[in-house]
Amino acid sequence: MNRLATILLYLVLFLAPSQLLAQETITNVGFVSSDIWYSVEPFFEGDAIRIYTIIRNSSDKDITGIVTFYKDTTPIGSTNFSLAHNRVQDVWIDWNAQTGDSTISAKMSETKMSLPGGREVAITLVDNETGKSVRFIDIDTDGDNVGNKSDDDDDNDGISDERELALGTDPLNPDSDGDGVIDGADDDPLVSGSPSQKFTTPIQLGTSPDVVDSALAKKVAEYSPKTAKVINATTHTVDSFRGREITRLTKKIAGLEDRLSLIRDDTATTTSGTTDSTTKKSSFDRFSTLDKPIAIILLFLHKSVLWVMSNTIALYIAIGATLFLIIRVIIRLVRGRQYDY
């Protein structure tokens, strides 16, 4: 009986302290409250950044453990730490930012008190989790350090996103038609080809059809969304028509210029002193004397129409004048019928 009592006393004296230490809860070790920060501000999707936090140890013991960082509830990296008593320490991980709403936090685990002689005792920390850093990680298409959500011109081509949607161009692509000219400097961003290929006339009014101040459009949209919708739809229709007509006219002009060149070559051949009468006859059979003036007139007319199509102001003036004449004719017809009665 005395032997059993001795064993029990031994267990109480030597094992109980270890169990008490293993269950000890410490309040003066942990994170500095709500302390999450980043290596760079602002940052955007795909950026390689470093996420930091800071831990403190105000106890008289050395502490070890693991800090794991989370995006929402998903671990995104972890790091081991060893922190001497009465010290603070920065810890961090590297991370590639992902677009969307993000809640970043960090949490300690496997924390232990390191005792002399290499002995470690598991401990529970009260401040074992940081506050939450909540933010929206945006995309920065044009790399101007302004996220697309706040940027009026995501691709930095000189045309607002709102205007590009109305025109039918890509607000995330500075060169929608892939012709090497950014949309803001492109006379027709929906038609592929260099400027010289698109427009054969050098005449310019100095106003690009697509560089339009969006301030007025925004005001109209604020006060009358339906009106803005109609205006945008009409503008898009007109611009699409312009693109098709410019392409068609450019091809037609090239064909007329080729024909005029053939007529000139034919005239040179028929007036040559070395050409016999048979050659002359066949040449005049192919091109009549009216072909050259007709070709010149058609070329002039097509270039004039192309000039109008290539210049926004001239185009809208022409449309307005046409509508005015049509309305005027209709009014006269209506009045004429009234007089007949």
User: Quick one: pLDDT at residue 210?
Assistant: 42
Mean pLDDT of 313-318: 81
Tell me, yes or no, whether 89 and 159 share the same domain. Answer: no
C-alpha–C-alpha distance, residues 312 and 320, integer Å: 12
Tell me, yes or no, whether 101 and 75 share the same domain. Answer: yes
C-alpha–C-alpha distance, residues 42 and 65, integer Å: 31
The total of other beta-carbon atoms located within 10 Å of residue 108's CB is 22
Domain that holds residue 260: 155-310
Tell me, yes or no, whether 210 and 303 share the same domain. Answer: yes
User: Quick one: pLDDT at residue 105?
Assistant: 94
Q: Look at residue 90 and tell me whether its pLDDT is greater than 70.
A: yes
| pLDDT-based confidence at residue 277 (cuts at 50, 70, 90) | very low
> Which residue's structure tokens are 């410019």?
246
Q: Does residue 143 belong to any structural domain of this protein?
A: no
Helix, coil or strand: residue 72 = coil
**CA gyration radius, the chain:** 40
Q: Does residue 12 belong to any structural domain of this protein?
A: no
Q: Look at residue 187 and tell me whether its pLDDT is greater than 70.
A: no
| pLDDT-based confidence at residue 20 (cuts at 50, 70, 90) | very low
Q: DSSP 3-state helix, strand, coil percentages of the chain (rounded to 5)?
A: 45, 25, 30
Residue 262 or residue 327, greater confidence: 327
User: Quick one: pLDDT at residue 60?
Assistant: 85
Q: Look at residue 57 and tell me whether its pLDDT is greater than 60.
A: yes
Q: Does residue 36 belong to any structural domain of this protein?
A: yes
The total of other beta-carbon atoms located within 10 Å of residue 100's CB is 12
- How many helices (H) and strands (E) the chain has is answered by 8, 9
> Which residue's structure tokens are 């307005």?
320
Q: Look at residue 236 and tell me whether its pLDDT is greater than 60.
A: yes
User: Quick one: pLDDT at residue 17?
Assistant: 44
Q: Look at residue 250 and tell me whether its pLDDT is greater than 60.
A: yes
- Selection from 154, 150, 137 nearest residue 45 by Cα: 137
Tell me, yes or no, whether 161 and 282 share the same domain. Answer: yes
Tell me, yes or no, whether 284 and 207 share the same domain. Answer: yes
User: Quick one: pLDDT at residue 213?
Assistant: 45
The residue from 110, 137, 164 where one domain ends is 137
C-alpha–C-alpha distance, residues 205 and 209, integer Å: 10
C-alpha–C-alpha distance, residues 314 and 295, integer Å: 25
Strand partners, 316: none
C-alpha–C-alpha distance, residues 292 and 259, integer Å: 9
Tell me, yes or no, whether 122 and 241 share the same domain. Answer: no
- Among the residue ranges 232-246, 274-288, 292-306, 320-334, the one predicted with the least confidence is 274-288
The residue from 71, 106, 137 where one domain ends is 137
C-alpha–C-alpha distance, residues 63 and 252, integer Å: 83
Tell me, yes or no, whether 252 and 181 share the same domain. Answer: yes
Q: Does residue 226 belong to any structural domain of this protein?
A: yes
Tell me, yes or no, whether 75 and 188 share the same domain. Answer: no
| pLDDT-based confidence at residue 222 (cuts at 50, 70, 90) | low
Q: Look at residue 43 and tell me whether its pLDDT is greater than 90.
A: yes
Q: Look at residue 323 and tell me whether its pLDDT is greater than 80.
A: yes
Tell me, yes or no, whether 52 and 95 share the same domain. Answer: yes
First to last CA, the chain: 137
Q: Look at residue 281 and tell me whether its pLDDT is greater than 90.
A: no
Tell me, yes or no, whether 262 and 236 share the same domain. Answer: yes
Report which listed range, 3-7, 223-227, 234-238, is most confident: 234-238
Q: Does residue 235 belong to any structural domain of this protein?
A: yes
Q: Look at residue 238 and tell me whether its pLDDT is greater than 90.
A: no
C-alpha–C-alpha distance, residues 20 and 113, integer Å: 13
Number of domains composing the chain: 2
CATH number at residue 85: 2.60.40.10
Contacting residues for 184 by C-beta, under 8 A, at least 6 apart:
157, 158, 159, 174, 208, 210, 211
- With a pLDDT cut of 70, the percent of the chain lying above it is 66
Tell me, yes or no, whether 100 and 182 share the same domain. Answer: no
User: Quick one: pLDDT at residue 247?
Assistant: 74
Mean pLDDT of 107-136: 88
User: Quick one: pLDDT at residue 190?
Assistant: 65
Q: Does residue 325 belong to any structural domain of this protein?
A: no
Q: Does residue 1 belong to any structural domain of this protein?
A: no
Tell me, yes or no, whether 256 and 176 share the same domain. Answer: yes
Q: Does residue 148 belong to any structural domain of this protein?
A: no
Report which listed range, 7-21, 110-124, 284-298, is most confident: 110-124
C-alpha–C-alpha distance, residues 10 and 14, integer Å: 6
